[in-house]
Amino acid sequence: MKGWTGYILRVNLTDKTWKKESFTEDFAKKWVGGRGFASKILFDELKPGIDPLGPENKLVVALGPIAGIPAPNTGKVVVAAKSPLTGFYGDGNLGSNVSSQLRKAGYDAMIIEGKADKPTYLNIEDDKVEFLPADEMWGKGTYFSNEWIYKKHGKNAGVLNIGQAGENKVLFAVIRSLEGRAGGRPGIGAVMGSKMLKAIVVKGTKQIPQADPELMRKLGIDGLKKARELDQKSGWSKQSTNAVLAWCNEVNGLPVQNMRKTSHPEAHKIDGERLDAARIATYGCPSCTMHCGITIHDDEGRESELDYENIGMLGPNVNVFDLKKVGSLNYLCDDYGLDTISAGAVLGFYADAIEHGAAKGDFKFGDADKGKTLLWDIATRKGEAGNLLADGALKAAKVYGKNSADYAMQVKGLEMAAYNCKSIPGQALAFGVAAIGGHHREAWIITFELKHSKRESYGPEKAAKVIELQRIRGGLFEMLVACRFPWVEVGYELENYPKFFNAVTGLDWTLENFWTAADRAYSMIKLHYLREFPNVTRKDDYPPAVWFDKSNADTEGPQKGVVLEYDKYDSLLQHYYDQRGYDKRGIPTMETLRKLGLEGEAAAAGKYAKLN
């Protein structure tokens, strides 16, 4: 087997043991890597109904056959576990040297089991695994911890670590790495914290096995050069992802005031031009050709790394239109290890719930200073509000009652990213059917909706576009594992990726092979969901009720009076199910599962719930 190392590292924190386990070529070809590996491993090894924050949950770190190999944006890592936020499979990706270092250590994935009896970090160097005390880092933020590790283990080490939020099991705690940014939005950092695992440090010295290393070297170098040229030619990096903020404001898609509003006259104060003007440095992940992290000095003089999602959710979503203050909220999220999207959504929800009399408190929209205090309260579960909000918007809404769940801006418990879709049906669907809950990573179709369809359409073309992008973004890129930006933002050709894959594996795959593998991974995640929630209904794929509420429509502007329509959304959902081969609950049919070679998994899931 080439391309894959052929080994998974299994670490048990309870008894401080580890072993190197091989996997077959059939497994590799069926699941590719990253999300594919993680979803299959966790399906096979976790019993439904386990406590996601108990020792029986497992943390998977998974790479793919081109991870860590010099080529455009291949310095990515997938982290996954049963999510404490959503109650089923959850994952995310982040940039880190772990991508190359773990592969050089001889592994394509790592499974972490059990629970340490005291704060611990793992030090992995080729065939050696050490369980080391993390007392000096425990209780500290991610900046301190990451630097502490660099001082002890060198800057070339790959590092994954958590902040106070992960330690305190905040349900939207992420895993961080200073070599990239953050990943694991559905509380994968909390799973790490529940295991008393502060950090993972990896160094490897071996060769990554490749079928044709000379060809891959040439393809990789050419690719890096081409992707950089495309970025420079397009000018994308000038404002990075935050250029879209001004556009969202113009087309009534900006999340303002817990997504109550869709634009704001002060949005220009935090847009891409202002971000570029305030730039002090630019950062990217390992092997990055188009750095998306722009840093500014926040209102306390700290360097804060911003992009659209964190500005959108910690800015307009909480009515903060001061870039330095947004930077400050973002810095604290990063340091505490809180997901910035969920943090912004939770703050917005809390202010909204107070305004509507569902919650008590003195936090108001626009109060960035109080927001900073709240972030610490959340990260440390301090006080009634901090402890409750640490469980995410939906769980907090269930406690607050008074219909507040209607404006908890989430799907399946995961807070949605920074696009307000009450008048954008296709993107609302993309959030509704994202594999792990309300995530933008897998499909974003707003420009397609406006340019190639009709904004008000609920037609099958939008369902088809969501599926097309899920296969690419949530499938190919999450399984290989690589960043989608060179393709999605500056047009680096998708056909390059099978070439990389074939050069390292010696196989002869086309994009079609990847679409099948992607569909398999999506079905696998659906079976996770079915197993955990046997009473699943199609309502689970609906966005929040407030997007359907006429009283929440824009009161002026081109989208005045427009909200989603239940009947039409349901028909759009049915288009998606029909094209996917899912039943009326949104679960793959037996026929679909058979076509994907998932008969065994279907039988396993069938013990817990009915398949059609």
Partner 1 sequence: MKVTVKLIGPLIYEGGFSEKTLELPGPMTAGELSAFVKINKKRPTIMTRNGKAVAPGDALAEGDRVVISHIYSGG
31 lies in the site for partner 1, by CB under 8 A: no
One-letter amino acid identity for 435? A
* Residue 233 to residues 49, 72, 285, 604, Cα–Cα distance (Å): 51, 16, 21, 51
When the beta carbons of 305 and 601 are compared against partner 1, the nearer one is 305
130-137 contact pairs (CB < 8 A, 24+): 131/13, 131/16, 134/196, 134/197, 134/198, 134/199, 137/161, 137/198, 137/199
Pick out residues in 558-597 that bind partner 1 (CB under 8 A): 558-559
108 lies in the site for partner 1, by CB under 8 A: no
Tell me, by CB under 8 A, how many residues bind partner 1.
33
Report the nearest approach of partner 1 to the CB of residue 252 (Å): 6
Strands 120-125 and 197-203: parallel
When the beta carbons of 4 and 419 are compared against partner 1, the nearer one is 419
DSSP single-letter state for residue 208:
P
241 lies in the site for partner 1, by CB under 8 A: yes
Residue appearing with tokens 């929630």: 533
Report the nearest approach of partner 1 to the CB of residue 450 (Å): 4
446 lies in the site for partner 1, by CB under 8 A: yes
Strands 158-161 and 293-297: unpaired
Alpha-carbon span 370 to 491, nearest angstrom: 42
Q: Give the per-residue contact string, 525-564, with partner 1 (x = CB under 8 A; - = no).
A: --------------------------------xxx-----
- CB contact at 8 A, 593 and 599: yes
Report the nearest approach of partner 1 to the CB of residue 454 (Å): 8
Report the nearest approach of partner 1 to the CB of residue 473 (Å): 9
- CB contact at 8 A, 551 and 534: no
**How are the residues of the chain apportioned to helix, strand and coil, as percentages rounded to the nearest 5?**
45, 15, 40
Alpha-carbon span 157 to 203, nearest angstrom: 5
- 324: exposed, middle or buried (Cβ count in 10 Å: 0-12, 13-18, 19+): middle
Alpha-carbon span 177 to 466, nearest angstrom: 30
List, in sequence order, the alpha helices (H) in 433-552.
Answer: 446-451, 460-469, 477-480, 485-490, 496-505, 511-532
Among the residue ranges 54-62, 100-108, 232-240, 293-301, the one whose residues contact partner 1 (CB under 8 A): 232-240
Report the nearest approach of partner 1 to the CB of residue 440 (Å): 6
Two structure tokens written together for 527: 């079976």
Pick out residues in 475-494 that bind partner 1 (CB under 8 A): 485, 488-489
Report the nearest approach of partner 1 to the CB of residue 431 (Å): 11
Task: Report the run of H or E that residue 430 belongs to, with start and end.
Answer: helix 425-432
Beta strands in 178-274 (DSSP E): 182-183, 197-203
458 lies in the site for partner 1, by CB under 8 A: no
When the beta carbons of 100 and 252 are compared against partner 1, the nearer one is 252
Pick out residues in 73-92 that bind partner 1 (CB under 8 A): none
339 lies in the site for partner 1, by CB under 8 A: no
Residue in 234, 403, 510, 537 binding partner 1, rule: CB under 8 A: 234
Residue in 167, 305, 309, 415 binding partner 1, rule: CB under 8 A: 309
Among the residue ranges 236-244, 335-343, 369-377, 522-530, the one whose residues contact partner 1 (CB under 8 A): 236-244
450 lies in the site for partner 1, by CB under 8 A: yes
238 lies in the site for partner 1, by CB under 8 A: yes
Q: Give the residue among 259, 234, 238 at the shortest CA–CA distance from 427.
A: 259
Report the nearest approach of partner 1 to the CB of residue 342 (Å): 16
Residues forming contacts to partner 1 in the complex (CB under 8 A) are: 234-236, 238-239, 241, 243-244, 246-247, 250-252, 272-273, 292, 307-309, 419, 440, 444, 446-447, 450-451, 455, 485, 488-489, 557-559
